[in-house]
């Protein structure tokens, strides 16, 4: 049985004051989210503070990325052990902004995914196609390739402790959500692809949808059979908006 999981990816937003307010607001509404799991992914510098603030609550903490190495001369990177030490349970890897703005390749993403697992963190592997790739009809090829990079490095069984987030790049921050049917088609493709290798892993795998999810469209998206929650950007920055999405999942 899969439980719905909603993660807020705060990206590079907020301040010490605003994240304290945001966490306070989310905590105040946690009683109404039912069975949904709730994760927040603050900018790295605020992870320690957020972990302290959520202590004893049902809110989990995730990082927005993770170093592919465990220690050493890797300026600007943060290791899995460091993230774990400061309370992270999850690590987003392969977000489309990392892929497109910072040049992370499928192989680099797979290495970061492996680093998360090695350090006891659950990777949230982001996959998704660009608008031109959808228009060319190669969505499944692109998403399949992104998942294969991870499977060939870590094996399909590794997905038993991971989450996949399908985020069509054209729907991120644009206000253009994939229709529930469009998203469901890709989610089903992902689950079927994994089921061909391991049916149990596929049946239990949480596949989130991300891209302009709001309180007003969350219920319809989360009602689809293979959509197990969401990875939320803009709407995760206001407690009420985020809670409305968590409630739709719960
Ligand atoms: P938006 O919800 O702002 O479209 O962002 C989605 C996203 O990229 C979450 O990782």
> Mind listing the pLDDT tens digit for each residue in 92-126?
999 999 999 999 999 999 999 999 999 999 999 99
Q: Is 173 in the pocket of ligand 1 (CB under 6 A)?
A: yes
Predicted TM-score (pTM) of this structure? 0.98
| Total length of the chain | 250
The band of 144, judged by pLDDT with boundaries at 50, 70 and 90, is: very high
Rounded Cα distance between 42 and 31, Å, is: 22
Q: What is the pLDDT of residue 175?
A: 86
**Extents of the domains making up the chain:** 5-249
Class of domain 5-249 (CATH, top level): alpha beta
The whole-angstrom separation of Cα 121 and Cα 100 is 24
Q: Is 167 a catalytic residue?
A: yes
Which residue out of 95, 164, 234 has the highest number of ligand 1 atoms within 8 Å of its CB and is therefore the one to mutate? Answer: 234
Residues contacting 26, CB < 8 A, separation 6+: 38, 40, 59, 239, 242, 243
Could you give the percent of the chain with pLDDT greater than 70?
A: 100
Mean pLDDT of the chain: 97
CB 203 within 8 A of CB 162: no
**Residue 241 has what pLDDT?**
98
pLDDT of residue 1: 76
Share of the chain above pLDDT 90, in %: 97
pLDDT at 161: 95
User: Alpha helices, DSSP H only, in the chain?
Assistant: 16-29, 47-54, 80-85, 96-101, 106-118, 131-135, 139-154, 180-195, 199-204, 215-222, 239-249
pLDDT in tens, 182-213: 999 999 999 999 999 999 999 999 999 999 99
* pLDDT value, residue 190: 98
The finding on whether 94 has its CB within 6 A of some atom of ligand 1 is: no
Locate 198 and state its tokens: 């391991």
Summarised one tens digit per residue, pLDDT across range 39-52 is 999 999 999 999 99
Would you state the pLDDT for residue 171?
94
Most ligand 1 atoms within 8 A of CB, residue of 94, 98, 213, 248 to mutate: 213
């Amino acid at each position: 049985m899969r439980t719905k999981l909603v993660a807020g990816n705060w990206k590079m937003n907020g301040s010490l004051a605003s994240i304290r307010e945001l966490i306070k607001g989310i905590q105040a509404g946690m009683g109404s989210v039912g069975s949904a799991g709730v994760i927040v992914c603050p900018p790295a510098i605020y992870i320690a503070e957020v972990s302290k603030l959520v202590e004893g609550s049902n809110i989990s903490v995730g990082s927005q990325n993770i170093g592919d190495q465990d220690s050493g001369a890797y300026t600007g990177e943060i290791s899995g052990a460091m993230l774990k030490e400061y309370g992270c349970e999850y690590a987003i890897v392969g977000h489309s902004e990392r892929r497109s703005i910072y040049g992370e390749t499928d192989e680099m993403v797979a290495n970061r995914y492996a680093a998360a697992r090695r350090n006891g963190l659950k990777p949230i592997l982001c996959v998704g196609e660009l608008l031109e790739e959808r228009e060319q009809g190669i969505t499944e090829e692109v998403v399949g390739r992104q998942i294969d990079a991870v499977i060939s490095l870590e094996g399909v069984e590794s997905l038993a402790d991971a989450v996949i987030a399908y985020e069509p790049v054209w729907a991120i921050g644009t206000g253009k959500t994939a229709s529930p049917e469009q998203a469901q088609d890709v989610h089903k493709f992902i689950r079927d692809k994994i089921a061909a290798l391991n049916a149990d892993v596929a049946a239990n795998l949480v596949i989130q949808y991300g891209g302009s999810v709001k309180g007003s469209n969350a219920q319809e998206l989360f009602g689809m059979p293979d959509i197990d929650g969401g990875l939320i950007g803009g709407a995760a920055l206001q407690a009420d908006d985020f809670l409305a999405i968590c409630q739709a999942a719960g």
